[in-house]
Amino acid sequence: MLNPIRERKLRYLFQILDRNHDGVLSRQDFEQLIGEITKMRAWKWGTSQYEELHFFWMGFCNRLEVWADQNGDGKITEAEWLWYLEQMLDRFEASYIQKAFTNITLKVMDFSQDNQVSIDEFTKFHQIYETDIEEVHQTFLHLDLNKDGYLTKDELTTLLNEFLYSENPQSPGNWFWGNPDIPVNN
Ligand SMILES: [Ca+2]
Ligand SMILES: [Ca+2]
Ligand SMILES: [Ca+2]
């Protein structure tokens, strides 16, 4: 059984990934996500950045279709998502997925390509989600563990790990995808 704090975070992540808001995850959501990011970054089809982003998210989508979609209807329900993650996160492959995700996330947010994410870059990235600017700044302050004004790969690695595994309601990584206290719709 997933601890309630972890379950709440993973349900929150499900909602973020459900880009077309139809209550399930499907290829459409991942195609839309890739479209949103590549449009924002002006990454053209065929460039290495586009390929890497596409490879990660469609690879993740394929994985969900094979391992999480229990009834094979091409739609991952929230229950299937939680069932899959609970098992996958305890397996060794989880560390590979986390590493690939951290690398691609850093590239997506690092407009200046100096291998770290400033608050301006972070804000620019969150325009995709139309998140309130105050909320974005508050999120950044939680995530910037050493308070130097930048998110580094080490920080993102620690934060993602906390998001996925921490059962402590105070862990900064709970903020990885924004304010974790926003209620989850049913
Ligand atoms: Ca969807
Ligand atoms: Ca940067
Ligand atoms: Ca920092």
**How close is the Cα of 149 to the center of ligand 1, in Å?**
34
**How close is the Cα of 138 to the center of ligand 3, in Å?**
14
Q: Which ligand is nearest to the CA of 114?
A: 2
**How close is the Cα of 35 to the center of ligand 2, in Å?**
22
Predicted local confidence at residue 17, as pLDDT:
95
Q: Which ligand is nearest to the CA of 16?
A: 1
Going from the N-terminus, what domains does the chain have, and what CATH number goes with each? 1-91 (1.10.238.10), 112-163 (no CATH)
CB burial of residue 171 (10 Å; 0-12, 13-18, 19+): buried
Q: At what angle do helices 93-109 and 119-126 cross, to 10 degrees?
A: 100
Q: Which ligand is nearest to the CA of 148?
A: 3
**How close is the Cα of 154 to the center of ligand 1, in Å?**
31
**How close is the Cα of 144 to the center of ligand 2, in Å?**
14
The single residue listed with the structure tokens 């229950």 is: 79
- The whole model's pTM is what? 0.92
Predicted local confidence at residue 20, as pLDDT:
96
Instruction: Give the pLDDT means over successive 10-residue stretches in the chain (186 positions).
Output: 93 95 98 96 96 97 96 96 95 94 96 97 87 92 98 98 96 92 56
**How close is the Cα of 112 to the center of ligand 1, in Å?**
32
Predicted local confidence at residue 186, as pLDDT:
39
